[in-house]
Chain A
């Protein structure tokens, strides 16, 4: 299967710890997006990359959140000093360069639980 993959699928951590999530987009998709989805809500856009360039990061929730895509392939999302309010599903999506409709293909998500 060549869909978007995310790792880990589940992460339980204690408040104050740092966590990092990985996303592997569909091969040759040059756009990669991160979203957060809390219970009972739709996904909330956080940031996106075109190749290795992070073109939008003003929507990251705080300076504790950061994302990288160093070689334009996989991406990581890091949350430092986690808080209980960070508990959510973190979704990754990718889109091909020539996508006329900004159609995005989603991964299965990483569910974060902060104790």
Chain B
């Protein structure tokens, strides 16, 4: 079974600075997808960024980028120029090659200090 581990229950960063959230996963599959989802307080989960395992190039979406290390099974999220609106729970998620449900980590609570 696949597992996703987020070892940082909480992270804090000053506004405008950069923060990196860690995620490791375990799988025996070669074809899969990885996601970072954001869940603001009392609001629904939204997709931040995704990465296809077959792509060596790291995904980037504006201020959000990932460091995907397939051999190490590591998938970290870097948020540049942190903004107050980035404060939320961040979940790392794994999907195999099919249409099955996602496997999530326990999440990291990101605090933005003004």
Contact = CB atoms under 8 A, between A and B. Distances in A.
B100 interface: yes
Contacts of B47: 103-105
A109 B47 CA distance: 16
Interface in B57-109: 91, 93, 95, 98-107
A87 interface: no
Contact of B50 (A3, A43, A44, A103): A103
B106 A109 contact: no
26 contacts: A31-B99, A35-B101, A40-B107, A41-B106, A42-B4, A42-B93, A42-B104, A43-B91, A45-B101, A45-B102, A47-B101, A48-B100, A50-B99, A59-B101, A91-B45, A99-B99, A101-B33, A102-B33, A102-B98, A102-B99, A102-B100, A103-B47, A103-B50, A104-B47, A106-B37, A106-B46
A42 B106 contact: yes
Contacts, number: 63
What range describes how many residues of B lie at the interface? 20 to 34
Given A42-B91, A103-B35, A33 B101 contact: yes
A47 B37 CA distance: 20
